Structure 1
Amino acid sequence: MESTLDLTELLAHIDPSMLDYQEWVNVGMALKEEGYTAADWDLWSQQDAGRYNSGECWKKWDSFQGQGTGAPVTGGTIVQYAKDQGWKPAFTFESGGHELDWGDSIDKDDLVVVDKNWLEKKEVYEPRNWSPARELVRYLDALFEPSETVAYNVESWLDENDNKWKPGNKGSYDRNAGELIRLLNQCNDDIGSVLGDYTEEAGAWIRFNPFDGKGVRNDNVTEFKYALVESDNMDLSEQNAIIHELELPVAALVHSGGKSIHAIVKVDAANYEEYRKRVDYLYEVCKKNGLNIDRQNRNPSRLSRMPGVTRNGKKQFLIGTNIGKGNWAEWHEWIEGINDDLPDPESLDQYWDNLPELAPVLIDGVLRQGHKLLMAGPSKAGKSFALIELSIAIAEGRQWIGWNCTQGKILYVNLELDRPSALHRFKDVYEGLGWQPNNLHNIDIWNLRGKTVPMDKLAPKLIRRAAKKDYIAVIIDPIYKVLTGDENSADQMAHFTNQFDKVATELGCAVIYCHHHSKGSQGGKKSMDRASGSGVFARDPDALIDLVELELSEDLQKAQKGKAACTAYEEAFRKYNPDYMDENISDDDYMSEFQMSEHAKVGIPSKYKADVTKAVNDAKQLANTKSAWRIEGTLREFPKFDAINMWFEYPRHTVDTTGILADIQPGDEQPTWKKNLGKKKDPKDKKKERIEAVKTAFDACTINGDVTTKDMAEYMGVTEKTVRNRVKEHGGFWIDEGVIGLKSDNQTQGK
């Protein structure tokens, strides 16, 4: 057998009820080809209670020809079926592997809670006051909401091959828990009048998860609340003791009326994939602690023994409800607190001459695949546009803000824009960049506006959808939509950012996200201290890209508008009269808006002049909206890069290659004298303001009667001498022994 995998372990990851008939046969053929037995196939097939027929595996086994066919079904088929249902091999960058998860087998002797040398057996006693209806009501009340549909089976048949009673067909699944409880409370312990009569030699069964009322397969389960833990080859008191010692979050513990206890354990899974992982983890913990689990019970639609009936003279009864930890999360945290799955320390000497390969580069000089990048900046910086530009650069294998990008598939998780706006924005950016959309198949957009959930809930959903897509990067924009906890709390933000680690590790791809700056002045801060909230935001990612705005002078803004106008004129000449352009316009003229406008008067045909004028005005207006930005960064894997200056001109960013922005400091970093430079007011304007200030002060002071120079000096915050000078400058007031009055026909003497 060439396979190094234990195929029986892989079968634990394949639900036979999810396969069609031919796929089920293929599993049997593969097992025979790889040297396994019909018993292995039969044991696994029993998980599909709806289709399982005793003895059928042995009948077909002898008909499998294997290598004689020339194209035998091999163990690779089982591996593929396991992958199709969520199983993943060990981590490699090439395979896009995953971190150790609840679905993985654990080779180390960890997760051990029970010390078998000190385990005291815990006896199980039948109830003294037997009330079948009360037993079942307590069970239903512990497991179901009143509106949830309950599936059960009181029919049975005797399998003569092994002389065992087995549940018949599908049973009943047409009533909810509330209705059943009401009828049971009125039946005077005749539960047969409610459920139907059962065979006392066989007992009866019930399914522990709620159903949709349309069937009893896994697809019909509406919520993956519980899993069944059962062992039928151990002493009952020992089973009971281990279940209690492990503090399993048991909703209901039922004596089967035979040689096992059925623990209905709370797993609280969000979906079937998570259910599988949690059940695998649960069973692994039980196995490590001496509870030999019947693994065929792992299906969420599985039947379990119903309390309140008798089975061959023995009661199927409820031992207890709500035993152990309160829920799955509490129990899992407790188990992990006792045991961890952290790797062992490694000796550097062992790997010095055989170092592992570094993860492939995604953004040259900035970021590797499997690592994290945070883009931080204020509003209006065009962060979302920059991330869309990055998405396109990766898809097309082009440059982003001057950095080369590895080409590959990317997932853009859009949390803010509605779907039409998001799609239009991608097209606008493509056109703004002037790039041909040759590799649109490399870009997937996940539009989640109005459907967002906290990041710890989004991460597993994202991983499940992206697992088979081979993305080399996932962009999440923006993160405030999925933020969990207080962004100023270091421990809560550490938990939040850990979700990005999980996505990166599970998918083997880079995770890129953006965050906003904190309020207040940013220019005087280092780039890694500008992001809002806890410092965890800036210190967690492997690369931090920070944007800060540059304050443009009036002269520079004017020059940009002139440049835009010249470009518009040049485009007009290329379109309407290229011959004139080549013969009459000099290199210097191309840089002068005035000269280009003069050439346009002569060289542009009259019928196009209105269009050209509009194009020039539009270009100048657009230039007036341009903003300038500086990118700084903090990198973990690469040397620090020089600051990059760029323009944001809707809908794209362009690197400043002229150096015109190099000497501009962010507004908050400029000294006061430089901020005020160019803002000095015209002397005439200053005089006008002084005159208006005198009138305002006089009107305010007249409330108290006569107005004095002292009153106005206090109001204006200046000296009395300054008041006298400004009153004299105004010319509309008189001053007499410190009293001030208006010069007018009605008030000429001042008193």
Structure 2
Amino acid sequence: MEIKMDLIPLLEYIDPAYLNYQEWVNVGMALKHEGYTAADWDNWSSSDPRHKPGECFQKWTTFEGSGSPVTGATITQLAKDNGWAPKGNREDHELDWNDEISGKDDYVVIDKNWIEGMEIREPATWNPVQELTRYLETLFDVSENVGYVTSTWETEDGKHLPTKGNYDRTAGELIQALGQSNGDLGAVFGDYNPEAGAWIRFNPLDGKGVKNDNVTEFKYALVESDTMDLEKQNAIVRELELPIAALVFSGKKSIHAIVKVDAANYDEYRKRVDYLYNICNKNGLNIDNQNRNPSRLSRMPGVERNGKKQFLIDTNIGKSNWDDWHEWIEGINDDLPDPESLTDFWDDMPNLSPPLIEGLLRQGHKLLMAGPSKAGKSFALIALSIAIAEGKKWINWECTKGKVLYVNLELDRASALHRFKDVYAALGWEPDNLANIDVWNLRGKSVPLDKLAPKLIRRAAKENYIAVIIDPIYKVLTGDENSADQMAHFTNQFDKIATELGCGVIYCHHHSKGSQGSKKSMDRASGSGVFARDPDALIDLTELELTEDLMKQEENKVACAIYQKYFEKYNFNYLDERISQDDLLSVIAMGDHATKAIPDHIAAINEEMTTAIKQTRIRTAWRVEGTLREYPSFDPVNMWFQYPIHKVDEVGSLKDIEPEGETPPWQKKGKGKGTKKTAAERKIERLQALELAYEACSIDEEITVESIAEFMGVTEKTVRRRIKEHKHFDVHEGIVTQKL
């Protein structure tokens, strides 16, 4: 069979570890259909941890072909989805300075098929000195050195190419000399070859050379296209509103647009030129990529080239500067919907999305779970996956039954799968709907969310998931989590997943450092406030401080329950006739009854009781609070976390327990609310508040007086006074540090 295209290089773009079973098989079928060998499939598959020696060769023999064969197009599409582009859209080598950066079909301002050409007119009166003077005055300050070339050398095929030229005179010197030249450009710049014309560098130089390193200001970039009609070139650069300082006719088949990019340095210049060229290419202007360099030569106006004039077409057209143009181009082609009149829908409102978690979250919406380390967030999300799959209750809310994808970014594959089984067992639920749960194990293979989201969407598009759970997001976080704009871009990826798949997106994040009890639930998640404002539902877990008295009460309940269980099993009549309601709540009384009525089981009771009390002792207590957009707020829910599940406190044992850090120190010490504090106690509280604020702000690289003042709700002057009062802190130029 003839191989039309070499598919092996395309396989380098496809990671078999990211494919599901059917996709992996499809690659094998496509390779066989296109004439490749089982060894080719096996070599590619070997990078997948799931790979089993001999499996590819065994399956290869079962691929018999069909009326609708899987072809090489399957491999081509998978490669495209992962960044490959066919020849013509890419260079077949690693990207370098001359490569074109292309992207999706946005930023299209004009339809190149309908653009009308704009005529280019020669100056009515030819005045070379005036042409060149105007050019220099437009582009340069009088003190800036200008590079120019009038001498050439000839190649073997008769082509005239520019020499290094001159670069040691300022624009002011050249303008003055032109004014005194009596119209003789050659007297100022040197005689040029009329067959070749002359050139000028559009960025100022340092007077020492003509390389990129000699450019002193990265003011301008050259936009030139010599593959299309001149009038269309003229029309497109104007239609694009490019911030053009000077527009020059080259004397041949192109116009040179000297575009204001105003870059601060070479790196920014490269980025802006890439962006500029990308916009031009997408709008039909085929840019000459060789013109990217800031030291590049452009055509000098005021001279002739092979019988045609090089002249200024226009100056200072389009947007006034780069920033204005960039803002305009970014906003002109948004894909936002048009405004709607409320009268059109008042009597026929669209249906609300059905609930995913009743009273908490709708399908297609986003939920964030926030909590500190060791809160059991992953176990809670696994329990949520199971509740959705089985259509049962999660914590305090009923779940709609459906298919769910759990994206595991933190646990190794075996641990993740075992956890699902452990949680099922702890919940006491039969695994009747295991087919509703898919687990995507990506530990060690996770990529930033903006790269992961398209891969996730592609894999999930045909599965009809009603929920996607991503645990945890710090593994795919892109950018600074304290930067609002960067986090807005990050959280937009959740919107893409929810919109493309029509499912709920649920993810978890960690708390900021420091005590959380005194904060509102939406202020506890680490990083930018975008995390709190973005999701449609936010639920937050804070730990409750358990007292010794409460723990003893819980141990008593557990012990009494074990006694009651043994009586129900081995001597129910005695339980029914002799044990009062008060005795059922007393360990001592139940122990006495057990010694009399079920003495043969005392050893078993004690053994079970020891284990149960130990488990009770290691339980932690948590309060769930939330901020909801689509539903009324809910009362806080108290629950126990006893590995591996959370159980709601149905009897109210935790209702009066305060979260960590919420109980004031004077209440913990047993003082009454009316007790007046001493000066020493007030000082201690001030210093403790400063320490708390310092710890809470320590997520930033530098802890400033301003950030501490904002956290404490006091003035910066107050913060400085407290730092001075505290012996272990120092402040210098607004930065707070801890003394050793």
TM-score using structure 2 length:
0.50
Task: State the secondary structure of the residue aligned to 2:661.
Answer: helix
Q: Is the 8 A contact 1:110 1:339 kept in 2?
A: yes
Quote the Cα distance in structure 2 between the aligned partners of 1:674 and 1:595.
35
Aligned mate of 1:557, from 546, 551, 571? 551
Aligned mate of 1:649, from 636, 639, 642? 642
Question: Which letter does structure 2 place at the counterpart of 1:495?
Answer: H
Q: How does 1:101-500 map to 2 (within 5 A)?
A: 111-112=109-110, 116-117=115-116, 289=283, 321=290, 336-500=330-494
The reply to whether residue 545 of structure 1 matches residue 545 of structure 2 is no
After TM superposition, give the deviation of residue 585 of structure 1 in Å. 3.7
Quote the Cα distance in structure 2 between the aligned partners of 1:83 and 1:440.
31
Quote the Cα distance in structure 2 between the aligned partners of 1:631 and 1:533.
20
Distance change >3 Å, CA 429–CA 344, structure 1 → 2:
same
After TM superposition, give the deviation of residue 578 of structure 1 in Å. 4.8
Quote the Cα distance in structure 1 between the aligned partners of 2:344 and 2:77.
33
Quote the Cα distance in structure 2 between the aligned partners of 1:130 and 1:502.
58
Aligned mate of 1:634, from 620, 627, 632? 627
Task: State the secondary structure of the residue aligned to 1:472.
Answer: strand
Q: Is the 8 A contact 2:625 2:635 kept in 1?
A: yes
Task: State the secondary structure of the residue aligned to 1:407.
Answer: coil
Quote the Cα distance in structure 1 between the aligned partners of 2:470 and 2:444.
15
Distance change >3 Å, CA 386–CA 119, structure 1 → 2:
farther
Distance change >3 Å, CA 128–CA 348, structure 1 → 2:
farther
Deviations 1:39-91 (Å, cap 9, x if unpaired)? Answer: xxxxxxxxxxx99xxxxxxxxxxxxxxxxxxxxx9xxxxxx9x999999xxxx
Quote the Cα distance in structure 2 between the aligned partners of 1:85 and 1:539.
37
Task: State the secondary structure of the residue aligned to 1:668.
Answer: coil
After TM superposition, give the deviation of residue 569 of structure 1 in Å. 2.6
Distance change >3 Å, CA 580–CA 423, structure 1 → 2:
farther
Quote the Cα distance in structure 2 between the aligned partners of 1:130 and 1:636.
75
Structure 1: runs of 5 or more not aligned? 1-15, 19-49, 52-72, 74-79, 88-101, 122-126, 132-233, 249-283, 294-317, 326-330, 680-751
The reply to whether residue 677 of structure 1 matches residue 675 of structure 2 is no
After TM superposition, give the deviation of residue 550 of structure 1 in Å. 1.7
Distance change >3 Å, CA 241–CA 428, structure 1 → 2:
farther
The reply to whether residue 597 of structure 1 matches residue 591 of structure 2 is yes
Question: Which letter does structure 1 place at the counterpart of 2:115?
Answer: K
Identity %: 62
Quote the Cα distance in structure 1 between the aligned partners of 2:594 and 2:378.
39
Q: What residue is the counterpart of 1:701 in the other structure?
A: none
Quote the Cα distance in structure 1 between the aligned partners of 2:626 and 2:290.
56
After TM superposition, give the deviation of residue 367 of structure 1 in Å. 0.8
Question: Which letter does structure 1 place at the counterpart of 2:493?
Answer: Q
Quote the Cα distance in structure 2 between the aligned partners of 1:479 and 1:645.
25
Q: Is the 8 A contact 1:475 1:511 kept in 2?
A: yes
Aligned mate of 1:566, from 555, 560, 568? 560
Quote the Cα distance in structure 1 between the aligned partners of 2:637 and 2:656.
12
Task: State the secondary structure of the residue aligned to 2:370.
Answer: strand
Aligned mate of 2:530, from 517, 536, 546? 536
Q: What residue is the counterpart of 1:172 in the other structure?
A: none
Quote the Cα distance in structure 1 between the aligned partners of 2:625 and 2:414.
33
Structure 2: runs of 5 or more not aligned? 7-33, 36-66, 68-73, 82-101, 121-152, 158-226, 243-277, 295-324, 673-740
After TM superposition, give the deviation of residue 570 of structure 1 in Å. 2.8
After TM superposition, give the deviation of residue 579 of structure 1 in Å. 5.5
Q: What residue is the counterpart of 2:734 in the other structure?
A: none
Task: State the secondary structure of the residue aligned to 1:116.
Answer: coil
The reply to whether residue 588 of structure 1 matches residue 582 of structure 2 is yes
Q: Is the 8 A contact 1:242 1:289 kept in 2?
A: no
After TM superposition, give the deviation of residue 396 of structure 1 in Å. 0.8
After TM superposition, give the deviation of residue 286 of structure 1 in Å. 9.5
Quote the Cα distance in structure 2 between the aligned partners of 1:641 and 1:130.
84
Distance change >3 Å, CA 347–CA 561, structure 1 → 2:
same
Q: Is the 8 A contact 2:370 2:540 kept in 1?
A: yes
Task: State the secondary structure of the residue aligned to 1:521.
Answer: coil
Q: Is the 8 A contact 1:110 1:340 kept in 2?
A: no
Q: Is the 8 A contact 1:524 1:668 kept in 2?
A: yes
Q: What residue is the counterpart of 2:60 in the other structure?
A: none
Question: Which letter does structure 1 place at the counterpart of 2:586?
Answer: S
Quote the Cα distance in structure 2 between the aligned partners of 1:341 and 1:128.
52
Q: What residue is the counterpart of 1:507 in the other structure?
A: 501
Q: Is the 8 A contact 1:373 1:513 kept in 2?
A: yes
After TM superposition, give the deviation of residue 610 of structure 1 in Å. 3.1
Quote the Cα distance in structure 2 between the aligned partners of 1:427 and 1:584.
42
Distance change >3 Å, CA 450–CA 288, structure 1 → 2:
closer
Distance change >3 Å, CA 410–CA 613, structure 1 → 2:
same
Aligned mate of 1:660, from 653, 666, 673? 653
Deviations 1:228-272 (Å, cap 9, x if unpaired)? Answer: xxxxxx967789889999899xxxxxxxxxxxxxxxxxxxxxxxx
Distance change >3 Å, CA 603–CA 445, structure 1 → 2:
farther
Quote the Cα distance in structure 2 between the aligned partners of 1:286 and 1:319.
11
After TM superposition, give the deviation of residue 554 of structure 1 in Å. 1.3
After TM superposition, give the deviation of residue 552 of structure 1 in Å. 1.9
Q: Is the 8 A contact 1:529 1:535 kept in 2?
A: yes
Deviations 1:460-518 (Å, cap 9, x if unpaired)? Answer: 11111111111111111111111111111111111111111111111111111111111
Alpha-carbon RMSD across the aligned residues, in angstroms, is 4.8
Question: Which letter does structure 2 place at the counterpart of 1:618?
Answer: T
Q: What residue is the counterpart of 2:251 in the other structure?
A: none
Structure 1, 536-545 or 656-665: larger mean CA deviation? 656-665
Deviations 1:677-699 (Å, cap 9, x if unpaired)? Answer: 399xxxxxxxxxxxxxxxxxxxx
Question: Which letter does structure 2 place at the counterpart of 1:422?
Answer: A
Q: What residue is the counterpart of 2:606 in the other structure?
A: 613
Quote the Cα distance in structure 1 between the aligned partners of 2:599 and 2:119.
102
Distance change >3 Å, CA 320–CA 630, structure 1 → 2:
closer
Structure having the higher Rg: 1
After TM superposition, give the deviation of residue 442 of structure 1 in Å. 0.8
After TM superposition, give the deviation of residue 110 of structure 1 in Å. 5.9
Question: Which letter does structure 1 place at the counterpart of 2:622?
Answer: W
Question: Which letter does structure 1 place at the counterpart of 2:345?
Answer: Y
**Number of aligned residue pairs:** 428
Quote the Cα distance in structure 1 between the aligned partners of 2:430 and 2:625.
29
Distance change >3 Å, CA 450–CA 574, structure 1 → 2:
farther
Quote the Cα distance in structure 1 between the aligned partners of 2:405 and 2:228.
53
The reply to whether residue 523 of structure 1 matches residue 522 of structure 2 is no
Quote the Cα distance in structure 1 between the aligned partners of 2:583 and 2:155.
106
Deviations 1:593-650 (Å, cap 9, x if unpaired)? Answer: 22222233344463x5433221100100111112221111111111111111111121
Quote the Cα distance in structure 1 between the aligned partners of 2:458 and 2:293.
31
Structure 1, 343-352 or 527-536: larger mean CA deviation? 343-352
Quote the Cα distance in structure 1 between the aligned partners of 2:472 and 2:335.
32
Quote the Cα distance in structure 2 between the aligned partners of 1:678 and 1:385.
39
Deviations 1:80-132 (Å, cap 9, x if unpaired)? Answer: 9x999999xxxxxxxxxxxxxx99999xx9642869345679xxxxx99589x
Q: Is the 8 A contact 1:646 1:656 kept in 2?
A: yes
Q: Is the 8 A contact 1:244 1:324 kept in 2?
A: no
